[in-house]
Amino acid sequence: MTKRDLVVRIADETDLTQKQVYGVVQKTLDYIIEALEQGENVEFRNFGVFEVRERKQRIGRNPNQPENVVTIPPRKVVKFKPGRIMRRNITGG
């Protein structure tokens, strides 16, 4: 599903125009990104949690030339942990 698919589906089920729905969806995504940039967790009950984690520095090797060692610097990554209802609906457990 794309953002466009989501906008069309919501607009079809409400009395809002696609332009109005697009504005709300885009603003929501902008606020999620803003919160993650500030290091905050973003939690939607029963859906899941987005959080920023820092990966430690590590050593990497080129498989074609294992003697070449490369240091991979630390970096931030976004992790998603599904909520209970999502996990149950998807995995059936």
The CATH number assigned to the domain holding 36 equals: 4.10.520.10
pLDDT band at 93 (very low <50, low <70, confident <90, very high): low
Scored b (16 or more CB within 10 A) or e, 36-48 reads: beeeeebeeeeeb
Domain containing 9 equals 3-91
Inform me whether the pLDDT recorded for 92 exceeds 90: no
Inform me whether the pLDDT recorded for 82 exceeds 90: yes
For residue 53, the model assigns a pLDDT of 95
Overall number of domains in the chain: 1
Q: What percent of the chain has pLDDT over 70?
A: 99
Roughly how many angstroms between the first and final C-alpha of the chain, as a whole number?
24
Can you give the pTM of this predicted structure?
0.78
pLDDT band at 12 (very low <50, low <70, confident <90, very high): very high
